[in-house]
Amino acid sequence: MINSCFFYSLKGGITILALLDKLYERNDLSKEEIIHVLRNLDDGHKEALFHYAHRTRVKYYGHKVFMRGLIEFSNICRQDCLYCGIRVSNRKVDRYRLTPEEILDCCKEGYQLGYRTFVLQSGEDAWYSEEILIDIIRKIKEMFPNTAITLSIGERNDAVYQKLFEAGADRFLLRHETASKHLYEQLHPTMSFENRINCLLTLKRIGYQVGAGFMVGLPEQTAEDLAEDLLFLKKLQPDMIGIGPFIPHSETPLKDAEGGTVEDTLVMVAFARLLVPDCLLPATTAMGTLHPQGRELALKVGANVVMPNLSPKAVRTKYELYENKICTGDESTQCRHCIEMRIQSVGFQVDMGRGDSLRAIR
């Protein structure tokens, strides 16, 4: 369960259910109120929280679940994040990078399967220069009409972000990982908390549909830290929010740490839906890795995006942020139809369109 060091009570003895009612009706709680809820949720309260989150996603997005085609095009990274399996210090990683032609081949296969959003994700690999990325983006837009491109390539300078946007990139995923400066600095020895936040603000200013998000169950993470994450999202108002459990990797300094749980992650997904009701919210692969129906559970508490893998089978096991990732051996066609059946099994329907956020549409 969520870490707690002491019991916190609010003045006036306001009940948890009253706070959940307030969250549902106003999409807002104070930090003090969020901490109080997180420390005192029982099964009945969770049921109410999940119910409100589900009703909110249906109000804003109906029963649609948007499909994105994920292409993990390089596992080479210059950063050394303590939790990540492809960190630069891990010498046991079988490194790879896809050529621009291979990336376009993945898009071609995805387009034929009906995908209209491609998520290009990698470690922070400097081989993909500004010029190479611009060329890839332009060719995707030329070859595959009416598609959206999401980049998830880490930190670049403001000028590069601007030029990639002008070339045709629509969205940018840059999870903040944790909004607590002290925790961020412990986990990211080669990075700056201030720069991470500034990158998100720059991407938003440029005009991208911006995705942020965080991990649940990090070592030393407290209810206060999670409240800071939620309030940061409330303030940023991102178009997309990615929330997943921390899963320890055996070749990292955190290999012996206790990981996050599906249950705690579901609580955070539901909170995010209620605090930023018009966001796009993925049911992450990490959830499916921890639980056979992890993604379905996330869909039932507010998530409305899934990202099946379009990467070549030969490299899927090499993009190992955490171990035992699901679906690495499936063909793209197989993966596409499997997740569609899973979505339908819990009462939702697949939408293969671009799936822009409501804020972007407005």
**34 falls within a domain:** no
Residue 45 and residue 20 in contact, taking contact as beta carbons nearer than 8 Å? yes
Neighbouring C-alpha atoms within 13 Å toward the C-beta of 229: 31
**4 falls within a domain:** no
Residue in the block written with tokens 């499916």: 288
**12 falls within a domain:** no
**55 falls within a domain:** no
Query: What global pTM score does this model have?
Result: 0.95
**326 falls within a domain:** yes
pLDDT per residue, tens digit, the chain (362 aa), is 444 333 334 444 579 999 999 999 999 999 999 999 999 999 999 999 999 999 999 999 999 999 999 999 999 999 999 999 999 999 999 999 999 999 999 999 999 999 999 999 999 999 999 999 999 999 999 999 999 999 999 999 999 999 999 999 999 999 999 999 999 999 999 999 999 999 999 999 999 999 999 999 999 999 999 999 999 999 999 999 999 999 999 999 999 999 999 999 999 999 999 999 999 999 999 999 999 999 999 999 999 999 999 999 999 999 999 999 988 888 888 788 899 999 999 999 999 999 999 999 98
The reported pLDDT for the residue numbered 78 is: 98
CA distance 342 to 352: 15
CATH code where residue 158 lies: 3.20.20.70
Locate 247 and state its tokens.
């899963």
CA distance 69 to 102: 14
Relative orientation angle of helices 31-40 and 16-26, to the nearest 10 degrees: 130
CA distance 283 to 304: 7
Q: What is the 3-state secondary structure (H, E, C) of 290-319?
A: HCCCHHHHHHHCCCCEECCECCCHHHHCCC
**349 falls within a domain:** yes
Distance, CA of 302 to chain centre: 13
Query: What does the pLDDT look like over 24-77, one tens digit per residue?
Result: 999 999 999 999 999 999 999 999 999 999 999 999 999 999 999 999 999 999
**1 falls within a domain:** no
Beta strand residue intervals within 239-289, DSSP E = 240-245
Number of domains in the chain: 1
Query: What does the pLDDT look like over 64-99, one tens digit per residue?
Result: 999 999 999 999 999 999 999 999 999 999 999 999
The reported pLDDT for the residue numbered 333 is: 84
The reported pLDDT for the residue numbered 7 is: 33
The reported pLDDT for the residue numbered 13 is: 55
Domain extent for 135: 64-354
CA distance 130 to 147: 21
**157 falls within a domain:** yes
Which residues contact residue 255 at a Cβ distance below 8 angstroms, ignoring those fewer than 6 apart? 248, 249
